[in-house]
Structure 1
C-alpha cells in the first residue's frame, strides 16, 4: 500500500567537485559547474509545490560552494528540513555562517585512526573532523558522525563510538557501503557481519536503518518486484540545473529545468521514465541507500516496518519531527 504519492526528498548537487579523493566514490572525477542562487530560489518554490519535505545539499563537497550558507539558509527559512554532509576540510571556515541552518549536519568519518581514515579519503582530513566537532559544539550545533561501513573497517565502529561519538554526545550513523556503476567497494558484508551491524544499531546514540540490512540479505532490489521508488520519492538536481532520472547514480536521462521544475517533473515524458524506477537492468541488485531510505518510508511493506523504529528514534533524538509539524 502506497502512503505517499509525491516526492519527499531532493538531492540537490551544488557541485560534483570535491577536495577529497575517496576510493569508494567517483563523483570527484567529474568536471562540474556550481549551482546558481536564482535557480535555487525558483527550484525551492517548485519543490514546495511538489510536496518535498527534505532538501539534501550534496556533492562532491558542498562546502566548496561559497554560497552554500545562502542556499541552506533559504531552504531552512522556507520550512524544508535541510541536510548536509561534509568531509570537514572546510567546515571550521564555514561553521559560523551555517549555524542554525542545517537540521541534519553529517561529518564523514570512516576509521578510528588518522592514517587509515586519511588514506581512504585520499586527503588528510581526520584532524579536521575532530576540529569540526569542537567548533560545532561551541556553536551549539548537533552534528552526526556518518560512518560508511566496509568489511575492512567494521572493527573501528566500536572505537569511534566509544572514543568519539559518545563522549561528544553525537549520533553515530551507520552507512553500509553500496556498489554502483564501476565503483569498487571491496567484498560485501557477510550475513554474520550484517547481524553484527544490526545489534550495534540498537545501541544508544546509534542510527542504523534496519531495512538496509534486510535488503542486502535479500540480494538488493529485484527488477521483477522492485522495492526502489527512487524517481517518485526523490528529485535529483544536477549542478547544471538539470533533473536527473531515475536517480543520480543510475541516471538515464537529464532534463534542463529552465525555471520550470514543477511543470517538468509532472510532465508525461518524465513520469513515464519515473515509472521505470527499480525496473531497469542496472537496477537489479541495487542497494543504494540514498534512494532506498525514502523508498522504505512511502510504501507499507516489510521494509517499511523494519525502517520505522530507527527512523522514529533518529527524528526524536534530533528533534526534526518538530520541523515537520510546522510545515
Structure 2
C-alpha cells in the first residue's frame, strides 16, 4: 500500500568537486560547476509545491560552495528539513555562518585512528573532524558522526562509539557501504556481521536504519518486485541545474530545469521514467542507502516496518519531527 505519491526528499548536488579523494567514491573525479543561488531559489519554490520535505545539500564537498550558508538558510526558512554531510575540513571556517541552518549535520568519520581515517579519505581530515565537533558543540549545534561501514573497518565501530560519540554526547549514524558503478567497496558484510551491525544499532545514541540490514540480507533490490522508489520519492538536481533520473548513481537521463522544475517533474516523459524505478537492469541487487531510505517510508511492506522504529528513534532524538508540524511551515 502506497502512503503518498509525493516526493519526500531532494538530493541537491551543489557541486561534484571535493577536497578529499575517498577510495569508495568517484564523485570527486568529475569536473563540475557550482549551482547558482537564483536557481536554488526558484527550485525550492517548486520543490515546496511538489511536497518535498527534506533538502539534502550534497556533493562532492558541499562546503566548497561559497553561498552554501545562504542556500541552507533559504531552505530552512521555507520550512524544509535541511541536511548536510561534510568531511569537516571547511566547517571550522564556516561554522558561525551555518549555525541554526542545518537540522541534520553529519561529520564523516570512519575510524578512531587518525592514520586509518585519513588514508581512506585520501587527505588529512581527521583533525578537522575533531575540531569541527568542538566548534559545533560550542555553538550549540547537535552534529552527528556518520560512520561508513566496510568489512575492513567494522572493528573500529566500537572505538568510535566509546571514544568519540559518547564522550561528546553525539549521535552515531551507521551508513553501510554500498556498491555502484565501478567503485570498489570491498567484500560485502557477512550474515554474522550484519547481525552485529543490527545489534549495534539498538544502542543508546546510535542510528541504523534496520531496513538497510534487511535489504542486504535479501540480496538488494530485485527488478521483478522492486522495493526501490527512487524516482518517485527523491528528486536529484545536478550542479548543471538538471533533473537527473532515476537517481544520481544511475543517472540514465538528465533534463535541463530552466526555471520549470514543477512542470518538468509532472511531464509525461518523466512520469514514464518514474514507472521504471527499480526495474532497470542496473537496479538488480542495488542497496544504495540514500534512495532506499525514502523508498522504505512511502510504501507499507516489510522494509517499512523494519525501518520505522529506527526512523522514529532518530527523529525523536534530533527533534526534526517538530519541523514537520503545520505551524512551522
Q: Does 1:267 align with 2:276?
A: no
User: Is the partner of 1:308 in helix, strand or coil?
Assistant: helix
Give the structure 1 partner of residue 293 of structure 2: 293
* Corresponding residue of 1:249: 249
Q: Does 1:182 align with 2:182?
A: yes
- 1:39 is paired with a residue whose SS is helix
Structure 2 counterpart SS, 1:248:
coil
Q: How many residues get paired?
A: 327
Q: Give the whole-Å Cα distance in 2 for the aligned partners of 1:211 and 1:313.
A: 14
Instruction: Give the Cα separation in 2 of the matches to 1:297 and 1:115.
Output: 38
> Pairwise mapping of residues 5-44 of structure 1 onto structure 2 (< 5 A)?
5-44=5-44
Moved over 2 A (4+): none
TM-score under structure 1 normalisation? 1.00
Q: Quote the Cα distance in structure 2 between the aligned partners of 1:5 and 1:168.
A: 40
Equivalence for 1:92: 92
User: Which residue number in structure 1 is paired with residue 318 of structure 2?
Assistant: 318
| Per-residue deviation, residues 68-114 of structure 1 (Å, max 9, x unmatched) | 00000000000000000000000000000000000000000001100
SS in 1 for 2:147: strand
1:251 deviates by 1.0
1:281 paired to 2:281: yes
1:31-180 mapped onto 2 (5 Å cutoff): 31-180=31-180
Cα distance in structure 2, aligned partners of 1:312 and 1:166: 21
Q: Could you list the per-position Cα deviations for residues 113-138 of structure 1 after superposition, in whole angstroms to 9, with x for gaps in the alignment?
A: 00000000000000000000000000
Q: 2: CA distance between counterparts of 1:174 and 1:320? A: 18
C-alpha separation in 2, matches of 1:78 and 1:191: 43
- Alignment partners' CA distance in 1, 2:270 and 2:215: 27
Q: CA deviation at 1:274?
A: 1.1
Please give the secondary structure, in 2, of the residue aligned with 1:160: helix
CA distance in 2: counterparts of 1:112 and 1:274, whole angstroms:
41
Shift of 1:20: 0.1
- 1:305 equivalent to 2:316? Answer no
Matches for 1:223-234 after TM superposition, within 5 Å: 223-234=223-234
Distance in 2 between residues matched to 1:57 and 1:236, nearest whole Å: 11
Q: Paired residue for 2:204? A: 204
SS at match of 2:311: helix
Q: How large is the Cα RMSD of the aligned pairs?
A: 0.4
The whole-number CA distance in structure 2 between the counterparts of 1:301 and 1:323 is 26
- The answer for unaligned runs of 5 or more in structure 1 is none
Tell me how far apart the structure 1 counterparts of residues 312 and 6 of structure 2 sit (CA, whole Å).
21
Any idea what the Cα deviations from partners look like across 1:194-246, whole Å, max 9, x if unmatched? Answer: 00000000000000000100000000000000000000000000000000000
- Which string of whole-angstrom CA distances, capped at 9 and with x for unpartnered residues, describes residues 42-67 of structure 1? 00000000000000000000000000
